[in-house]
Amino acid sequence: MPQGAVGTAETASPSGTAQILDGKATAATIKAELAVRVAALRERGVVPGLGTILVGDDPGSHAYVGGKHRDCAEVGIASIREDLPGTATQADVEAAIDRLNADPACTGYIVQLPLPRGVDVNAVLERIDPRKDADGLHPTNLGRLVLRVNEPIDTPLPCTPRGILELLGRYGLSVNGANVVVLGRGTTVGRSIGLLLTRREHNATVTLTHTGTRDLLAHLREADVIVAAAGVPGIVRAEDIKPGAIVLDVGVSRTVDEATGRARLVGDVDPGVREVAGWISPNPGGVGPMTRAMLLANVVDTAEAAVG
């Protein structure tokens, strides 16, 4: 894998076109590694099992959950589905959580987000047994991320931030001392990537921007690394970034393609950014597949830790 200093023009390829952080290929490698670890666990009589709770009929969420179960089958993790209708009440969702907390076949599970309006997401996350929290979003696990700045973390990390770090690491890109600008303060990406990157082992300086940020462009111009998770199509433009910057496109918006009339997904990063950035994660094919792979990694890590 190429080694690179962060955010300098030296990381850009000579043609001026960014090098690709290929999340799809990297996730495939990780899944193959995980399959070996799962086989070793199974030989010891341990079968890791991922549970999912899906509420409602959002097509995106259905697709993501379907993908999680396909991934499990690919690496040998058992999987358990709890699909609830959009009319499910808080009590219905909490009952599903209680079932998975009590189910010995389920070694880790997630509640697919977002939840329909009317379901209290914080109450839901708090009810998950933190030892089975495959998304690392339980307050105990997020709290450990806040408190353990210097010590190793032995609890699951939120999947997208872990996926971003893993992707950078596998390409030999360090963020030590880098100015990282994060767009978006959501729990699954923005807030938690800030906590992770400022840990001593990564040592980045993080600016967490959001809809209340006054001069986003001033921040972007100074960024060695940009993590775009705002959900605003094309908010990161070529003319606003430092040449050679590392750009991770995490945003997802649905739009209708004018040429074909078909719905398609677009990221936060304008296609022109490829001409200026040093490294870029495509969207699709970048951080998304890494998110899926890291969920499996969390489940396998937890199962291995449980058997010593």
Ligand X SMILES: Nc1nc2c(c(=O)[nH]1)N[C@@H](CN(C=O)c1ccc(C(=O)N[C@@H](CCC(=O)O)C(=O)O)cc1)CN2
CB of 110 to ligand X, least distance (A): 4
The residue count for binding ligand X (CB under 6 A) is: 18
The answer for residues whose C-beta is within 8 angstroms of residue 78's C-beta and 6 or more apart is 47, 48, 49, 50, 72, 105
| CB contact at 8 A, 269 and 280 | yes
| CB contact at 8 A, 84 and 124 | no
Report strand pairing: 253-256 vs 263-266. antiparallel
Q: E strands of 35-136, at which residues?
A: 49-55, 78-84, 108-111
CB of 53 to ligand X, least distance (A): 9
Q: CA-CA distance, 297 to 34, in Å (whole number)? A: 7
Q: Pattern 181-200, binding to ligand X, x per CB under 6 A?
A: -------x------------
Q: CA-CA distance, 161 to 159, in Å (whole number)? A: 6
* Helix, coil or strand: residue 114: coil
Q: Pattern 210-249, binding to ligand X, x per CB under 6 A?
A: ----------------------------------------
Asked if 276 touches ligand X (CB under 6 A), the answer is no
16 is in an annotated binding site: no
186 is in an annotated binding site: yes
Q: Pattern 98-117, binding to ligand X, x per CB under 6 A?
A: ------------xxxx----
Binding region for ligand X (CB under 6 A) out of 93-101, 198-206, 232-240, 277-285: 277-285
55 is in an annotated binding site: no
According to DSSP, the residues that pair with 81 across neighbouring strands are 52
Instruction: Answer yes or no: 112 catalytic.
Output: yes
Instruction: Answer yes or no: 3 catalytic.
Output: no
Instruction: Answer yes or no: 68 catalytic.
Output: yes
Instruction: Give catalytic residues, as residue numbers.
Output: 68, 112, 135
Using CB under 6 A, list all residues that contact ligand X: 63-64, 110-113, 135, 159-160, 188, 265, 283-285, 288-289, 291-292
